[in-house]
Amino acid sequence: MLHETGYFVEITMVATTALLTALVSYWVFRRRERLIRRFGERAKLVYQSFENQQISAETASRRLEEIKSEVDGLVIRRRLGYTEGLYFLAFVEDMVKRIEYARSVSENFMELFSAFMEDDILTENEYLKLKQFLHTIRHKIPPDLYEQFSRKVESTYTIGRS
Q: For 50-63, what is each residue's pLDDT tens digit? A: 888 899 888 999 99
Residue 119: per-residue pLDDT: 86
In this prediction, residues 101-108 reach a mean pLDDT of 88
With CA atoms as reference, report the closest residue to 142 among 82, 68, 60. 60
Separation between Cα atoms, residue 33 and residue 41, nearest integer Å: 12
Separation between Cα atoms, residue 26 and residue 53, nearest integer Å: 40
Q: For 12-46, what is each residue's pLDDT tens digit? A: 999 999 999 999 999 988 988 898 899 999 999 99
Residue 2: per-residue pLDDT: 67
Residue 14: per-residue pLDDT: 93
The structure's pTM equals 0.70
The parent domain of residue 47 ranges over 2-161
Q: What total number of domains does the chain contain? A: 1
